[in-house]
Amino acid sequence: MADRADLLQGTLDLLILKSLALGPLHGWGVSKRLRQLSEDVLDVGQGSLYPALYRLEDRGLVTSEWGTSPEGRKAKFYRLTAAGRKQFAREQSQWRTFTGAVNLILAATQEPA
Amino acid sequence: MSSLLDRIARRIRALRNPDALDRELAAEMHAHIDLESQELVRAQGLSPEEARRRATLAFGGVDRFTEAHRDERGVRWLSELWADVRYSARVLTSSPAFTISSVLVLALGIGASTAMFSAVDAVLLSHLPYHDDEQLVRIFEQDSPTNRWTMSDVDYQAIERDTHSFSAVGAARPGATSVSAGGDAERRPAAYITAGFLQALDVNVLAGRRLTLADEQPSAPAVTVITEQLATEKFGSPSAAVGRTVTIDGLAHQVVGVLPAAHASLANRQADVWPVMKRATPKRRGPFGLFVIGRLAPGVTMASARRELNDISVRIFPEWQSGFQDRAARLTPYGLRETIIGDASRPLSLFVGAVALVLLIAVSNVASLAIVRFMRRWRELSLRAVLGATRGRLVRLMITESVLLSVSAGVLGVALGWLGLRLLQGFVTGIPRLSEAHLDLRAISVALTVALLSGIAIGAVPALRLLTKGADGLRDGTRAIGDGKLTTRLRAAFVAAEFGLALPVLVAGALLLASVARLQRVNPGFDSRDVLTMTVGLPSATYSDNSSMARLFTRVSSELTQLPGVTSAAYSTAMPPDDQGNNNNNFNLVDQPVAPGAAQPTVTWPTVTPEFFGALGVPLLEGRMFDASDTLKGIPVVVVTRSWAKHYYPDRPAVGRELISGGCTACPHTVVIGVVGDMTFDRLGEPGEAVFSPLSQGWGQPLFLFVKGDDRDGSLARRVRDVVHSADAGAAMSTTISLDERIHSSVAAPRQLAIMLATFAGAALLMAAVGIFGLLSYAVALRKREIGVRMALGAQRSQVVGSMIGGGMRYAGIGTLVGLSLSVVASRWLSGSLFEVSAVDPATLGAVSAGLLGVALVASWIPAMRAAAIDPVDAMRPE
């Protein structure tokens, strides 16, 4: 099993939004998709996942409804709202700017002139 | 925007229906676990059971999950509060004895406070029902800080003519007179007023018009304003009354206006008819008797109005000096509201003080009970602390519980307050404007605020214990903290406080009762048994001269004495024992006059028939009684009471002395012809000084009729009325009241005050007794083992009883000492309401303290006996 990494604070919302941007999913599906996409590096605990989903729903970024999973079981499906899509785009670009800057700093080999 | 609304809607749903959301959460959780175990079976080939076990394990604690979700719903504190309230309600209903007694005790305290607030609000705080009522003043004649009286025509006309300080002044002559509108004449309250009276109050009529200055002209037709009630009663409606005729004192008056029902009384003077007062042409400074009010002009202060009135007083003095020599007399303005409130603030402040003490006792009582409960629940609280409840959460629980208790008491208290106010209004007479009091929203908010504060105070004690000892102490599970000395001492302090607070209320009640008892035992100087009294008024239009009045009144009295059972019938212008100053007159002794310009002595000076003294059993002590020789043409004569004679002629006979009556230097001197026994006209307990003139030297009316006779079959009143009516159908009579009744009602106000205070004292005493009983009962339960051990080691039952009672009495004793000092401090509040009893009367203080300690003894006795009945073997058995 690959090394696990702790989730950076504040990134869980972005990851959930991303996984839902690819299509509606139930809670378990979100956690599985995050595990798969991160190649088992990130494993989001249910104790954080579901509160986060509720928080996003409360903020109007996702909506939920009960449906039947491809596995044939009744489950609650989450999907992005229009506001959620916008929020995802915004957070994604912020994340890219932020990680780009961090990478630049970490890649530096000499003092700036 | 819509998302915000959605969020609010979601939260409300979450709050209103937490169970449904929790169910949904559980369903989602199960779905997750199912899916995870399916995956585990497929991917790793585990058995379904093993897969399920792993999935559940991976999911983590269900409760943590649920709690975390609730947090996300953002209603945690609200739902916790709701849970606390439901929990507290369950806890409170599970111990009904504590809950019911606490709620009742608090509700009584809160109810009494609410009723008292409403009363004080209406009587002392609220405005008069006139716009800009602080501009309204009442004007008196005044010659010393303690002596003020009504005004005369001269005074009123001078102010009306010269003032710049008032935008309007008005005069009223209140009284009662015969009123008829077609039917029989009835004696009704009436007040003659000037046009300025309604103008100054700025009261508008419901129908018709107000009075005008033109109406005051002697040549103008007689007109009147009447109340809406009379208009409806006599003419069907206010508008139908305008233009109709009402006969007032035998003279036809045209109704020109109707006052709305809201103004059934004006400036606290009640009357059914308000006829115009015709402008008089004064011949001398007196007589006084005018009730005068004024409205200060905009921007004029009370001080400048006082200066202007002072100047007017000085200016008019010389012109009338021959008949009025009181150089110090000044026209003096007072705020109308303060003159109406008058002495009412004294009984009310006593009530308020007593109610405040009773409320404090109630709160102490419940607080002390709450501490017991808190200690009983120590284990439960410890368990909660161990399970992770924070200190703040437990404190909140304590406060929630006591506030729930006190707010329930507050709701009940509002109901009790409403009832209390009704009782107060029905029971207490003589406090102006009390009838206008009602329980409004402000009173209700006061009640609930008092309830809330009491609840916080009650919960604060255990909460503070939690905060100082902390939840850590709870987790240790040591019982010692809950049963600690400090907590017991705290309770003891509450019990001592209850006794300390109860004592002043008891002392006040006892002193007032003693004072009333003395008042009722006072010898009024006359025999009130079997004497009926009533007022008889003759229409002045028909009986305008002395001889016509003399003829009718003499005929009536001689016919009355012929009635079977009647022994005598007499007339007087004054009613004992409380004539309310209606017959006051000033005089000057010819052989020892006061200094020129100084105020002359005044005395109650009734005019009576000689039978008056016989009917009331007042003996003639010296000289002679009035007889047929004392006529209008003869020298004016008087008889005086023994006290008057002793006062002015301590070592010489009073008979034969001469005096100048009413400051009339031009009149013939009045001669004292006899001395009679004392009788009081200035309230029971006041010295019985009086001077009497004979009606034969000048009849007047209305007169009080006194009929002494046997009224065994209760028909005397009717027979008397028949005689008067057959003499003149136009004579107006008041209802008949026995003289006994008049004496009884003359001490009504102090008696009501005493009974009110005694009621509060009873409540205070009961609560203090319950407090000490509760404290000791708990101590017995707590020290059962210890007592058992001591008894096993040879302690006598009497020793156990002694130590228990001794413990209780110590707190009661400390409280009583504190209460005694409080009583002495508070005594000056009371002294003005007492008669012949000192506010720090040692006998009363001693007796009340002893009584209070006696009650404490009885209340301690029962738990002490219970302690003595403890079986040592049973008590020492391990728990």
Per-residue pLDDT tens digits for A27-53: 888 888 888 888 878 777 777 788 788
Domain A12-107 falls under CATH 1.10.357.10: no
What is the pLDDT confidence band of residue B342, given thresholds at 50, 70 and 90? Answer: confident
The residues pairing with B571 across neighbouring beta strands, listed in sequence order, are: B705
Whether residue B74 and residue A58 make contact (CB cut-off 8 A), yes or no, is: yes
**Tokens at B35, concatenated:** 């899916």
- Residue B470, C-beta contacts closer than 8 angstroms, at least 6 positions apart: B391
Does B9 have pLDDT greater than 70?
no
Does B504 have pLDDT greater than 50?
yes
Across the A:B interface, residue pairs with CB atoms under 8 Å apart total: 66
| Closest among B495, B469, B499, B493 to B374, alpha carbons compared | B469
CA-based Rg of chain A, rounded to a whole angstrom?
A: 16
pLDDT, position B781: 76
> Which one of B34, B38, B65 has the shortest CB-CB distance to A47?
B65
* Distances in whole angstroms, Cα of residue B619 to Cα of each of B347, B385, B528, B624: 38, 87, 14, 11
The stretch B570-576 carries a mean pLDDT of 92
B542: DSSP letter: T
pLDDT in tens, B296-332: 999 999 999 999 999 999 999 888 887 777 778 899 9
pLDDT in tens, B811-833: 889 999 999 998 888 887 787 77
A50 contacts in chain B (CB < 8 Å): 25, 28-29, 65, 68-69
pLDDT, position B148: 81
How close A88 gets to chain B, by Cα (Å)? 17
Whether residue B64 and residue A60 make contact (CB cut-off 8 A), yes or no, is: no
Whether residue A45 and residue B10 make contact (CB cut-off 8 A), yes or no, is: no
CA distance A55 to B584: 88
pLDDT, position B524: 80
pLDDT, position B762: 87
pTM over 0.90: no
Residues of chain B above pLDDT 90, percent: 31
The stretch B779-786 carries a mean pLDDT of 78
What is the pLDDT confidence band of residue B878, given thresholds at 50, 70 and 90? Answer: low
Whether residue A27 and residue B32 make contact (CB cut-off 8 A), yes or no, is: yes
Strands (E), chain A: 25-26, 62-68, 74-80
pLDDT, position B477: 47
Q: What are phi and psi of B272, to 5 degrees?
A: -90, -30
The answer for A 24-83 residues in CB contact with B (under 8 A) is 26-29, 32, 45-47, 50-51, 54-55, 58-60, 69, 71, 73-76, 83
| Closest among B210, B184, B217 to B196, alpha carbons compared | B210
Residues of chain B above pLDDT 70, percent: 91
Whether residue B36 and residue A59 make contact (CB cut-off 8 A), yes or no, is: no
With tokens 């005790």, the residue in question is B105
| Cα distance from N-terminal residue to C-terminal residue, chain B | 64
pLDDT in tens, B72-95: 555 566 677 788 888 888 888 887
CA distance B494 to B774: 12
Burial class (CB in 10 A: 0-12, 13-18, 19+), B198: buried
pLDDT in tens, B99-135: 888 898 899 889 988 988 888 888 877 788 888 888 9
The stretch A2-16 carries a mean pLDDT of 69
**Tokens at B264, concatenated:** 């059934």
CA distance A24 to A77: 6
How many CA atoms, within 13 angstroms, populate the side-chain half-sphere of residue B419? 10
CA distance A50 to A64: 12
Does B268 have pLDDT greater than 50?
yes
- Residue A112, C-beta contacts closer than 8 angstroms, at least 6 positions apart: none
Domain ranges in chain B? Answer: 2-74, 133-343, 484-523+745-879, 543-727
- HEC-encoded secondary structure of B788-824: HHHHHCCCCHHHHHHHHHHHHHHHHHHHHHHHHHHHH
For every residue of B158-221, DSSP letters joined together read HHHHH-SSEEEEEEEEEEEEEEESSS--EEEEEEEE-HHHHHHHTPPPSEE----GGGGSTTSP
The amino acid present at B174, given as its one-letter code, is: P
pLDDT in tens, B48-75: 888 888 877 777 655 555 655 555 555 5
3-state secondary structure of A47: helix
Whether residue B35 and residue A54 make contact (CB cut-off 8 A), yes or no, is: no
* Distances in whole angstroms, Cα of residue B366 to Cα of each of B413, B446, B451, B492: 15, 20, 12, 13
Whether residue B68 and residue A46 make contact (CB cut-off 8 A), yes or no, is: no
pLDDT, position B683: 78
CA distance B805 to B802: 5
A69 contacts in chain B (CB < 8 Å): 31, 35
pLDDT, position A2: 40
Contact B118, B421 (CB under 8 A): yes
Q: Residue A69: closest CA among chain B residues belongs to which residue?
A: B35
* Distances in whole angstroms, Cα of residue B117 to Cα of each of B127, B506, B592: 15, 22, 54
Asked whether this complex has an ipTM greater than 0.85, the answer is no
pLDDT, position B196: 94
Whether residue B31 and residue A32 make contact (CB cut-off 8 A), yes or no, is: no
A26 contacts in chain B (CB < 8 Å): 31-32, 35
